[in-house]
Structure 1
């Protein structure tokens, strides 16, 4: 009797036990909820990059006003990213016991920078006049007269120069105090460039580049450090190229994420609006 009553009770108990252990079914998540979750995660990832892009973009638009198109930096860690290293000039021009050398940002006479850089110097000659010694430094567009200690005296340009472009500079073999410049034709001057007359190029000792002595190379080293324009750094930061292919790809991916966020955000707004309309119409 006892066993039969237990048998009748067990079938009733088993459904209760199954009901106690059974887990309630998880509610289905709609697509808008899923998109919201991933939208917030992707937004956090893209946030820092978007601030980065916005900041560099603002600075680039005001680059001229802020002087960033001319300002230069030579931070060692930044130069390492660009793969730039100090490299003193290997050659220069010698005249009257003085040496002319040129780096990316400086024109050096005996290892000292001139107040104003001379672009692409192509030769130097000396006038050893005891009363007023001078050095003549030629560039394609002018001839600069300086004192041996680097003070600028004059800058000869056309029409004072008889030629439009200077190709080389030298002195007469028979008179080292007479300066000669040449483009197609050669002209000489014995009065500091005030008057010029034709001369045969064969009569001239032309200034030619020579290997820079180690002492002069050492003096040029502090002025040979590479520098980069700040505007260029901002451009490379904005595009990610400063960090190589990885940086460029990172910016590309962030741009793609931003597009996806914009499209999904508009779509979610539209779906929510449609759902609200349905709710209000009921």
Structure 2
């Protein structure tokens, strides 16, 4: 079951950035710690199935849900997930599977069942508490960066933070890539102020304008971000926010983005 949840391709990439575990005591060492790969299997089990941490079947996964959550907390605080995502993006660029010339950006609302950071009234769900995922992808739908805010935050407020969240993507000779050449967005980003800010960064804004008829042709490129949201929501834990801590939910988002990147690499093998 562990190898099914954590294939060798994923484990070989996630093992290097994991923090080293403290040395065991010589006297009274206690129980052996759960292997990292088994704990990762528990995390991915919750990410895919959407079950509560207490309902993780230890006889199937190999560890309890509490152990998996604690390891997720430690790895999130150590910054494991951003490093894993950046490494996979570098591999995609090295394999010529990353096209950052044309990128698309969008947001998606989710309901939050518990209070916590980055929770606000959803304007599309009768002001129920919720959060919002903000995502930027390349031309093929590969997730480049994702952020989490309250459900009442406007999409355009996360436009520049999303661009800043794109890591330095290596994989080829020369300078690493950190920004697209053209950025596609829907009418929610139709503000001249942000068009000017994008031009100042050397990015050409291709944003639909409010009040104009549909058929501008931008959807031929922009649709990939909607498909990536569909990929993310295949991970049932991301459809509804159960985590009270925003950094834990952000860690699960980045892990899901890494798995999507790995799928693109495996398809190219």
Q: Give the shorter-chain TM-score range.
A: under 0.3
TM superposition score normalised by structure 1: 0.23
Higher strand proportion (structure 1 or 2): 1
Larger radius of gyration: 1
